[in-house]
A and B are shown apart, each in its own frame.
Chain A
Amino acid sequence: MMLTLRPDVIDADERARVRAALDAAGWQPRDLADRYRLAVSTLDDPLIERLVALAASVAGAPLSRHGHEWLRLVHGDYQLMKGDGLERPSEPHVELIADVSAAATGEAEIFYSDGRVVPQLPGAVAVLKRDATLVRWQRHLSLRVGDAAVYRLRLTLLRE
């Protein structure tokens, strides 16, 4: 499994519901200049279980949840490889990225150190295998994004 990107997995109504739930629950800022500037939430949401099943079907094997994190990025936010490298699980795992943003910004892509790229595409879900060496960065959101916000889920899954 190199990288599987499935568009239109999460419709606009469900994305709006999840964003509202996340905003209501509140965000925690994560700001360490040489690693990242963004906001995170660990809110549990029914969407996550549906995505676990989707990831298992892509992987062709049962998967269990190891952890998850919602991310919100706005103008000026970013995540560097150093920030990712220090916090990802060390064991091989499956990573699922779900985009619940309202709109595409044309920025905030996720770049993996092996060349794979996950675009910022509302409603899309990406599934890929990661090992201890693979790190990633999320591109800075410039002034071109205006008031837009990127909402995405990072779901970490292990083989059962």
Chain B
Amino acid sequence: MEAWAAAWRAAEPFAHVAIDDVVDDAGMAELRDAIVRQPHWPNRGELYEMMASGEPTAPALRAFIDAIGSAPVRAAIGAISGDTLSRADGASYVYLAGSYLLPHTDFRSGVDRKVAWIFYLSDDDAFSGGELDLYRCDVDATGEIVGTAIARTLRPRKNRLVLFDVARTTLHRVREVTSGARVSLAGWLY
């Protein structure tokens, strides 16, 4: 845990960590089966186009999100991020060819998101594109972002959990998927 906490603190362009091989083979099979049974709906807006579950109903997906929000996991992630975390939420997402999530921060005034989480379910060769880009931001004296550049790209590797800090300048995006299907669970810890 201390190694991940150190990695979180040292990470550039902002605090994050990627933890691989989070669940065993049986657990992964159960999650992937649940994704197929979980309805996903077209979801398009200013920032994104993908398929999303809304509040998941498939028991295995619910169980995973509940596990992220369980006291021991919250304590473990809090030990990494240095936060006291009270709950988690999440949903499942399917990015088909042409799906994307444009650069943005998850920070919302009055919403106490502290850590964002993403867990990847697709086989590595099941899709192309869909990488997670993290941006370095130049900020002026007023706190306004005046410059941006991709500083780190994370491959959405199967069975990888990515955690990253939620703040005004933790800008990130999901690159457009160019083929196949990129499936993930994602949400926030508060």
Contact = CB atoms under 8 A, between A and B. Distances in A.
Interface of A: 31-34, 76, 78, 80-81, 111, 137, 139-140, 142-144
Interface of B: 46-47, 49, 97-98, 100, 102-105, 135, 145-148, 171, 173, 176, 178
Given A80-B46, A143-B98, 14 more contacts: A31-B148, A32-B147, A32-B148, A33-B103, A33-B148, A34-B103, A34-B105, A80-B47, A81-B46, A111-B46, A139-B46, A142-B100, A142-B176, A143-B176
18 contacts: A31-B148, A32-B146, A32-B147, A32-B148, A33-B148, A33-B171, A33-B173, A34-B103, A34-B145, A34-B171, A78-B102, A81-B46, A137-B46, A140-B49, A142-B176, A143-B98, A143-B176, A144-B98
List the 9 closest pairs (A to B, CB-CB), nearest first: A33-B103, A33-B148, A142-B98, A137-B46, A34-B103, A144-B98, A143-B98, A33-B135, A34-B171
A143 to B, nearest CB: 5
B145 A32 contact: yes
Given A111-B46, A142-B49, A76 B148 contact: no
Contacts of B171: 33-34
Nearest to B172: A33
B21 to A, nearest CB: 31
Contacts of B104: 34
A143 B102 contact: no
Give the secondary structure class of B's interface. Answer: strand
A144 B135 CA distance: 26
Contacts of B148: 31-34
Contacts of A111: 46
A137 B45 CA distance: 10
Contacts of A81: 46
Contacts of B103: 33-34
Contacts of B105: 34
Most buried by B among A31, A34, A76, A144: A34
A32 B49 CA distance: 20
Contacts of A137: 46
A140 B100 contact: yes
Nearest to A35: B145
Contact of A143 (B135, B145, B178): B178
